[in-house]
Structure formats: C-alpha cells, structure tokens
Amino acid sequence: MSAMGLLVTLEGGPGSGTAEQALLLRQSLDGEGVPADFVQPGGEDAWLVPDGQRAPEWPPASRVAPFLFAVTHLADTWHHLAAPGVAAGSIVILDRYRTTLLAHARARKLDAEWAAATVAVLRPADVAIYLRSDPVRQLDRLLRAGQALRGWQVGIDVGAARGTGFAGAFRAYQSTVSRQFDALAGPGRLLVLDGDCDPAVLQRQIHDAVITALEAVG
Amino acid sequence: MIASEKGERRDMRPPVRRGSGRLIAFEGMDGSGKSTQSRLLFRWLQAQGAAVAQTAWNSSPLVAPAIHRGKSTRSLVPLTFSLVHACDFADRFERIILPHLEAGHTVVADRYVFTGMARDAARGVDPAWLRQLYDFAPLPHLTFYCAIEPEVAVQRLLSGRPRIKYYEAGLDVDPQAVDRRRAFVRFQGRIADEYGRMAKEFGFVTLDATRPLAEQQRDVREAVADVLGGLDASALVASGRGTEEQ
C-alpha cells in the first residue's frame, strides 16, 4: 500500500447502482486486506444540512445557487470525510462526485465551461467510473427499492415533468443526463462501464480497474 | 473572464435578459462603515422616489442555516467558506438582484462579489478561480470602497461589541494566534491588500472611511446622481448628517 491512498468515485444517475457497487467494492477490498472507506456525500455528518433537516428547497428558477450548494457539499465531504482516509493510505470510495454533479449541471442548462471550471477546484478522483444505465432500468431499480421519486431526479425544476407524469419525466430527464455523462467521458477522464450488466461481472471490472490504479501508484 | 466595461453583463451564466437597472455596491473591511453608507444611500434613493432595492451579504434565508452551522461548529475551511458564501450570493443574485435589474430598478448592495474575492484570496484561495467563480454576476455601475486601516476598524467594532468573531479575525487560517485583536488586524490587512488590487482592476470609487459620515455620503450621492441622472444630490446631503451612528 502506498503512503497516499486513492480516491475512487462511482458516477451515474439515480438507480444506476453506484451505491451498491461502492459497498461491494469496499467489501472485496477489505477481504483482500486493502484498507477501504465508503463515503456517501449527503450523509448525516455533512454540516451543510443540519440534523433532521433537508437541503434547501430551491425555487424552480434557481440554477446557480443549487449548483454551488452541491459543490460546497462535495468540497466539505472531501475535506472532512474523504481526505483523512486518503492521507492515511486508504482507498476512499465516493458514491458520486464531480462528474455526476457536472452531468446534472449541464442537463440543467448551466454554462458547461463555467461549471467545469468551478468544479475543477475539487480534488480530482484517481479513478472515476461511470456506470452507464438505461433510464428505464434505473427507474425500475428505484421503484423496486421502494424509493419515491424526487423532484430533482425527474428534472421537475427544468420543466421535464410537464404533462408526462413522474415516470415519463424521469426517463426523459435521465436520458438527458445520460447524454451529458457521455459528453464528459473520454480517454483518461472517465472509465465507462455497463451498469446494467450482471452485478458480479460489473464488480469484477470495477475491482480490476482499482487494483490496476493501485499498482500504478506503487 | 470578466469584461472591463463597467455596467455591462460579463458573460453572465446562465444567460439573462439585460435590463436597464443600475447596480451600486459598497465594499470594505468589517468596521469600515460601508453598511451605514449603503443604508443612507438606499433611504435617500427611496426619498427621491426611485425604484430601489437593497441586499446584504450573507442574508439568503435558504443558505443561512448552512452558514450558521458551518461557522458555529467551525467546520468551514477556506474553500467551503468561499463556496457557501458564493452560494448565498448566487441565491440573492438570482432571486433579488437580477429581477430588480431586469425590471429597471436600482439595487444597492452592501457587499458584492468583491467581498468574496478579497476574503477568500486572503484565506489562500486562488484569485483566478475566484474571478471565474463569480463570473455569472455583472459588474456594478458603481463600486464604493470604504477604505480604512484595520487598527481603526477594530476599534470601531470593539466599541459596539465585546469581541471580534472567529472568522472575521481569520482564526481559521491563523489557528496559533493568541490575540484575536492582532489576528484581526493581520487578516483584515491582507483583505485590504486584495481590495487595493481590485480597486485598480475594477475601477472602485475609494472613500476615505475616516472622514465624517455626511461628507462621505455627499460624495456617494454625487457619484450616484451622475450615474442615475435626475437626482438632486446637494439638496438631500444634509438629511443624512447625524442620523446614523457609525
């Protein structure tokens, strides 16, 4: 294990399996004696949202403020929850980070260049993996998990739900988000994996990518 | 990047409709008297019958709980301090400043983006990144910089309350400091240096904040009258004299 750990991020839309795969990765690394932490931004430790309260309910026309709130949240997550583990030599696995935020920002018509330059202040991931998933599959997973759809997941603030209902809006909005993920992918930037393949196969691919990165840093 | 032409929209993001409103900002370190000057101007403009709004730094009700929590638990590091205050500004910009400007109103801002740029740069955040961070906001038509020495500012502050606050003394970046007053002077001195650089870069109108309030306000009103037109600055200067405590 190197003196410095790794920051691994799993990126994707809601229901794409990022949290499930992050937990599986931590378990498999733990089983091999590799220290690993799983951090989910938005947990109870985040000071931005006081205990027992929810994040601000932004007016539908707000664009810049919600984005900056989310950037603040990720910066805080990195500093207080992830950085100590990385500094201690662990592999810290974040369930969604810069790329997911940027994909949503672009889908919400924020200026892509400005958003990217703003997010660039966050410590980049050593391994960033995008779990590409069909929005129909995403929706199915969320509903099977008993989750009620939230406004931001269906793009209600950008008018995606107009006349289509929540399910239709989810598919339409997440398709837009998916296209933005694809636009952000590229050699050396984002490893794209099929989030809809067999979870065990997907986990092996993720695991191998992390081990390869780990070996590369010595 | 930021365009140099004052009053023009700077590559604003997201795109917004331009209105005919006017934006007037007051900047300066804590204790410089900028809030008093901005309040006097706001009341004068109201008395003149102008459609005017005011907004103050760190006053978004949506972001306030996060800022309060961050400060009270001292969880804020320079980057999150910077971002959460940019978020506060963005919320007020989208919901207050921009609608008023688009409606053709005058907006008086007690602190504007330059506060974030100065404070955060003094905390070690990259100034170039800060400029792009605030690139969604237009430059004011007038920016008054209330210039004062930190030693004078700290005397003013301590005349009205028992102690200097943790973050205004920059103790988050000066944790070994044992004397909060000296830490304030050091930290605010760095902020003043940043303001000094920005005064040239952005064409601030510098006010000597040690002068009598009414004299400063007279200069403010004359400058504002030039920008807005149709205002009688000289007739109303006296009404502000002695009506506000520094």
CATH number for the domain spanning A174: value is: 3.40.50.300
Report, as an integer, the average pLDDT of A186-201: 91
Say yes or no to pLDDT of B16 above 70: no
Cα B77 from Cα A80, distance rounded (Å) = 10
pLDDT 10s digits, A142-192: 999 998 888 778 887 777 767 778 899 999 999 999 999 999 997 777 999
Question: If we measure between CA atoms, which residue out of A45, A27, A153 comes closest to residue A93?
Answer: A27
Q: Which residue has the tokens 């229901």?
A: A15
Cα B208 from Cα B202, distance rounded (Å) = 18
Please give the residue that has the higher pLDDT: either B238 or B122.
B122
Please give the residue that has the higher pLDDT: either A28 or A59.
A28
CB contact under 8 A, B132 and A76: no
Report, as an integer, the average pLDDT of B41-57: 95
CB contact under 8 A, B86 and A58: no
| Model ipTM value | 0.90
CB contact under 8 A, A47 and B84: no
B199 Cβ under 8 Å from any chain A Cβ? no
Say yes or no to pLDDT of A193 above 60: yes
For residue A151, tell me if it sits in a domain: yes
* pLDDT class of B18 with cuts at 50, 70, 90: low
For residue A40, tell me if it sits in a domain: yes
pLDDT at A186: 76
For residue A11, tell me if it sits in a domain: yes
B14 Cβ under 8 Å from any chain A Cβ? yes
| Residues 6+ away with beta carbon under 8 Å from B219 | B205, B207
Say yes or no to pLDDT of B2 above 50: no
Q: Reduced to 3 states, what is the DSSP secondary structure of residue B56? A: strand
Which of A31-35, B47-51, B226-230 bottoms out in mean pLDDT, i.e. has the lowest?
Answer: B226-230
For residue A1, tell me if it sits in a domain: no
Encoding tokens for residue A146? 């008993």
CB B63 within 8 A of CB A72: no
| Closest residue, chain A, to B76 (C-alpha) | A76
Q: Reduced to 3 states, what is the DSSP secondary structure of residue A147? A: coil
Strand partners, B22: B106
For residue A36, tell me if it sits in a domain: yes
Domains and CATH numbers, chain B: 22-234 (3.40.50.300)
B91 Cβ under 8 Å from any chain A Cβ? yes
Encoding tokens for residue B224? 């504002």
Cα A106 from Cα A179, distance rounded (Å) = 10
How many whole angstroms from its chain centre is CA B39?
12
Encoding tokens for residue A82? 């992830």
CB B111 within 8 A of CB B25: yes
Per the prediction, chain B carries an average pLDDT of 87
Taking the CA of residue B18 and the nearest CA in chain A, the distance in Å comes to 17
User: Which chain A residues are closer than 8 Å to B80 by Cβ?
Assistant: 72, 75-76, 79
- The sign of the dihedral angle between the CA atoms of A8, B75, B85, B1 is negative
pTM of the model: 0.89
Report, as an integer, the average pLDDT of A43-63: 64
| Closest residue, chain B, to A64 (C-alpha) | B90
CB-based contacts of A31-35 (< 8 A; 24+ apart in sequence):
A34/A1, A34/A91, A34/A214, A35/A1, A35/A5, A35/A88, A35/A89, A35/A90, A35/A91
pLDDT at B53: 97
Please give the residue that has the higher pLDDT: either A151 or B36.
B36
Cα A40 from Cα A45, distance rounded (Å) = 10
Please give the residue that has the higher pLDDT: either A61 or B32.
B32
Structurally, chain A folds into a number of domains equal to 1
Cα B229 from Cα A95, distance rounded (Å) = 55
What would you report as the CA-atom Rg of chain B, rounded to the nearest whole angstrom?
18
pLDDT at A158: 76
pLDDT at A149: 85
Cα B14 from Cα A54, distance rounded (Å) = 26
| Closest residue, chain A, to B70 (C-alpha) | A47
CB contact under 8 A, B93 and A58: no
Say yes or no to pLDDT of B221 above 50: yes
B70 Cβ under 8 Å from any chain A Cβ? yes
| Closest residue, chain A, to B13 (C-alpha) | A111
From residue B16, how far is each of A63, A158, B137, B168, B176 by CA, in Å?
12, 16, 10, 34, 46
Taking the CA of residue B126 and the nearest CA in chain A, the distance in Å comes to 9
Per the prediction, chain A carries an average pLDDT of 88
Say yes or no to pLDDT of A1 above 50: no
pLDDT at A153: 84
Encoding tokens for residue A81? 């929850």
CB A13 within 8 A of CB A140: no
For residue A178, tell me if it sits in a domain: yes
CB B141 within 8 A of CB B6: yes
Say yes or no to pLDDT of B5 above 70: no
pLDDT at B234: 60
Please give the residue that has the higher pLDDT: either A15 or A55.
A15
Cα B54 from Cα A61, distance rounded (Å) = 21
User: Which chain A residues are closer than 8 Å to B126 by Cβ?
Assistant: 121
Containing domain of residue A27, as a range?
A: 6-216
Which residues of chain A are at the B interface, by a Cβ-Cβ cutoff of 8 Å?
47-50, 53, 56-59, 61-65, 68-69, 71-72, 75-76, 79-80, 109-111, 114, 117-118, 120-121
| Closest residue, chain B, to A120 (C-alpha) | B129
Query: Cα angle at B188 between B187 and B191, to 5 degrees?
Result: 100
| Closest residue, chain A, to B68 (C-alpha) | A48
User: Which chain A residues are closer than 8 Å to B123 by Cβ?
Assistant: none
B65 Cβ under 8 Å from any chain A Cβ? yes
